[in-house]
């Protein structure tokens, strides 16, 4: 198992050498990362910079001095705050936090051990509080690795609040805190150690040589885990998994082996495919879209999906199905177009290395997963992919599967409607304008980070920035929930307006999810902004269209709505007549 997981990862020496030759001058995405630690972390900075560059991210990295994390966080004038990071990784280890009590916890009474846990938790929480007040950065803190060692040996679990339980209690208190704080996250370092083995991650020779508590061999694997946060902050997470069928979701070829001959069931080898399907279903229920991209006889394949007693995934779990004899690259383009998502939002699972190579060569923006030859490892490979992360799972994420099912109904309805105007009128579209608050801020940030097509400026904002905007009386921050006769599309529009002065407002951000494009929802949102400006006796609204490779769909929006160009800005006179389409029912909460 260790070979399967680590064989795809480069050695630390590769990253150290590559870091000195990076050219990131043409990268649009930039991030500033801070690394703080309670022990030596050689090579982590170089590895993160190279891994960021592989994703077209220009990463500047600040590395704190050896075990200087307390001083850097507590000192207002530290180099950490001068660096002004976007994300900080604080990497702690159990020995450093517990000190001598790691070796002799039972020199304390039970009550004293309880007090020690409380004390250490308060010290760490205080550090987090200080940092979040002084910085806009996200803080990612490792939990503490639960040691397998105990001086009490087999009596460890018979002792009240033994060493292992002390560490678990301390971790639990950190979890309780971070659940209440939107900018602090816990990275499961204990899970990392469990995955690779304590005797592998912690090498006594390196520890004694240079206080290295994560073996140098495992630094690239740690960096890859931390990239899960970076990619999410940069809006690079994947939304969809496109799946082959034969020898991917089941064993064998249904066209040759038949319905009863494929390998799918509770015994080997069929149970490996069931395990993969269970993991995919869990992701689907969390909001990841599933699609099928298969060369197959459609009737044979659909019979398995609909009727096989051991299929975990059913037809309703797939937002898009392409089962035909077309090439898979063409199918993938059609999947992206029909789902209205970018190809760079898709991960592709296929057992056939020829198909994978064909996809990689023709659509490099698709994440083509390198599956091992043994299907027993398919589920573990899926578990190891950190491209499906989000900073917060929103209500929209949880409802996404149902939303795509509703979208199919809309498209079928549109096909049976004579023209677009009749279609839009009969949709019964309702817009609910909502303020940025504790319930909507996460979704607003999520949309700014990942919306590319209908986005005037493509400015990206983290949650804490949206929260600050919402508390500023000189900012108007809101979002729009879109409903129609087929269901709720969720929060799919965002606007951020700067109140420059009594006469002029500037639209900083105006975006619409691709899910509701083509229904003129944007005009309903703009009418609300104009109405608010009128109520405040504002004379002009300014806006910018900043072109990117992907936001051409919004290119003519401002001119179509009566804005006129003056230099780099578009200007709208609030006294002009503007009316949203009659079929939009707009309400303000």
Share of the chain residues as helix, strand and coil, in percent rounded to the nearest 5: 45, 20, 35
The structure tokens 């976007």 sit at 86
Which pLDDT score, from 0 to 100, does residue 414 have?
A: 78
408: number of Cβ within 10 Å:
13
pLDDT at 37: 96
**Of the candidates 347, 388, 341, the residue with the CA atom closest to the CA atom of residue 369:** 347
Q: Which CATH architecture has domain 240-384?
A: 3-Layer(aba) Sandwich (3.40)
**What Cα–Cα distance (Å) separates residue 214 from each residue in 35, 37, 52, 221?**
14, 11, 21, 10
Distance, C-alpha 327 to centroid of its chain: 30
pLDDT per position as a tens digit, 147-175: 998 999 999 999 999 999 999 999 999 99
Of the candidates 179, 175, 144, 149, the one whose C-alpha atom is nearest the C-alpha of residue 163 is 149
pLDDT of residue 413: 81
Identify the H or E element spanning 234: none
How many Cα atoms occupy the beta-carbon half-sphere of 332 within 13 Å?
29
| Residue 381: closest CA among 15, 3, 51, 56 | 3
Give how far the C-alpha of residue 509 lies from the chain's centroid of Cα atoms, to the nearest Å: 21
What pLDDT sits at residue 185?
97
CATH superfamily of 395-588: Gcn5-related N-acetyltransferase (GNAT) (3.40.630.30)
pLDDT at 418 over 80: no
Is the per-residue pLDDT at 584 higher than 80? yes
pLDDT higher than threshold 70 for residue 4: no
Q: Are 32 and 60 in contact (CB under 8 A)?
A: yes
Q: pLDDT digits over 274-291, tens only? A: 999 999 999 999 999 999
Average the pLDDT over 83-97 and give the result. 97
- Per DSSP (E only), the strands in 213-252 are 240-243
Residue 29: its H or E element: strand 29-37
CB 245 within 8 A of CB 296: yes
Q: Where are the domains of the chain?
A: 2-233, 240-384, 395-588
Q: Do domains 2-233 and 240-384 have the same CATH topology?
A: yes
- 1 confidence band (pLDDT: 50, 70, 90): very low
Give the bridge partners for 320, in sequence order.
291
Q: What mean pLDDT is predicted for residues 165-186?
A: 95
**What is the pLDDT averaged over residues 481-499?**
95
Give the rounded percent of residues in the chain with a pLDDT score beyond 90.
88
DSSP assigned state of 145: P
Of 37, 259, 251, the residue nearest 140 (C-alpha) = 37
**The whole model's pTM is what?**
0.84
Cα angle: 398, vertex 402, 403; to 5 degrees: 95
The closest of 242, 348, 261, 357 to 304, measured between CA atoms, is: 261
Task: State the pLDDT at residue 155.
Answer: 92
- Is the distance from CB of 326 to CB of 333 less than 8 angstroms? no
* Cα–Cα nearest to 248, from 394, 351, 327, 366: 351
CATH topology of domain 2-233: Rossmann fold (3.40.50)
Cβ 216 vs Cβ 43: under 8 Å? yes
What's the pLDDT score for residue 354?
A: 95
The CA distance from 467 to 461, in Å, is 10
To the nearest 10 degrees (0 to 180), the angle between helices 463-470 and 441-450 is: 120
* 251: DSSP letter: B
Predicted confidence at residue 415, as pLDDT, reads 80
What is residue 12's predicted lDDT score, i.e. its pLDDT? 96
What local confidence, expressed as pLDDT, does residue 411 receive? 80
Task: Please tell me the predicted confidence (pLDDT) of residue 419.
Answer: 80
């Amino acid at each position: 198992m260790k070979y399967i997981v680590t064989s795809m990862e480069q050695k630390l020496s590769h990253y150290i050498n590559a870091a000195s030759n990076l050219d990131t001058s043409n990268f649009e995405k930039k991030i500033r990362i801070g690394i703080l630690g309670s022990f030596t972390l050689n090579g982590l900075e170089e590895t993160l910079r190279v891994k960021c560059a592989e994703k077209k991210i220009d990463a500047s990295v600040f590395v704190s001095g050896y075990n200087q994390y307390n001083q850097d966080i507590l000192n207002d004038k530290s180099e950490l705050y001068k660096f002004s990071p976007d994300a900080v990784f604080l990497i702690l280890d159990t020995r450093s936090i517990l000190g001598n009590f790691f070796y002799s916890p039972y020199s304390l009474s039970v009550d004293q051990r309880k007090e020690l846990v409380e004390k250490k938790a308060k010290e760490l929480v205080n550090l987090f509080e200080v940092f979040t007040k002084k910085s806009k950065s996200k803080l990612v803190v490792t939990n503490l690795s639960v040691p397998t060692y105990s001086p009490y040996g087999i009596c460890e679990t018979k002792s009240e609040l033994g060493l292992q339980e002390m560490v678990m209690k301390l971790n639990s208190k950190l979890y309780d805190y971070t659940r209440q704080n939107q900018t602090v996250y816990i990275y499961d370092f204990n899970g990392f150690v469990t995955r690779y083995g304590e005797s592998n991650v912690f090498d006594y020779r390196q520890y004694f040589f240079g206080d290295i508590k994560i073996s140098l061999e495992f630094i690239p694997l740690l960096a890859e885990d931390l990239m899960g946060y970076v990619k999410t902050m940069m809006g690079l997470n994947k939304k969809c998994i496109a799946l082959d069928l034969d020898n991917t979701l089941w064993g064998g070829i249904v066209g040759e082996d038949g319905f009863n001959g494929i390998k799918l069931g509770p015994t080997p080898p069929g149970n490996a495919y069931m395990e993969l399907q269970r993991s995919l279903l869990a992701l689907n229920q969390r909001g990841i879209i599933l699609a099928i991209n298969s060369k197959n006889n459609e009737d044979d394949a659909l019979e398995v999906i609909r009727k096989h007693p051991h299929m975990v995934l059913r037809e309703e779990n797939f937002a898009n199905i392409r089962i035909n004899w077309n090439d898979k690259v063409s199918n993938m383009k059609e999947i992206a177009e029909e789902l209205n998502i970018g190809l760079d939002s898709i991960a592709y699972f296929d057992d056939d290395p020829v198909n994978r190579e064909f996809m990689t060569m023709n659509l490099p923006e698709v994440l083509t997963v390198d599956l091992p030859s043994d299907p027993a490892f398919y589920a573990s490979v899926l578990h190891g992919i950190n491209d499906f992360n989000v900073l917060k799972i929103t209500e929209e994420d949880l409802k996404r599967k149902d939303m795509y099912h509703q979208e199919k109904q809309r498209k079928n309805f549109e096909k049976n409607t004579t023209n677009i105007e009749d279609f839009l009128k009969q949709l019964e579209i309702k817009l609910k304008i909502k303020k940025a608050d504790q319930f909507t801020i996460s979704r607003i940030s999520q949309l700014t980070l990942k919306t590319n097509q209908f986005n005037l400026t493509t400015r990206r904002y983290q949650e804490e920035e949206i929260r600050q905007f919402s508390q500023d009386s000189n900012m108007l921050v809101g979002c729009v929930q879109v409903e129609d006769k087929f269901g709720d599309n969720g929060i799919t529009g965002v606007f951020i307006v700067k109140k420059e002065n009594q006469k002029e407002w500037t639209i900083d951000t105006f975006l619409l999810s691709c899910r509701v494009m083509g229904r003129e929802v944007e005009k309903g949102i703009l009418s609300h902004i104009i109405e608010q400006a009128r109520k405040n006796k504002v004379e002009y609204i300014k806006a910018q269209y900043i072109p990117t490779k992907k936001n051409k769909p919004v290119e003519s929006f401002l001119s179509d709505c009566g804005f006129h160009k003056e230099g780099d800005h578009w200007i709208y006179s609030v006294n002009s007549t503007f009316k949203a389409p009659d079929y939009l029912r707009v309400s303000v909460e």
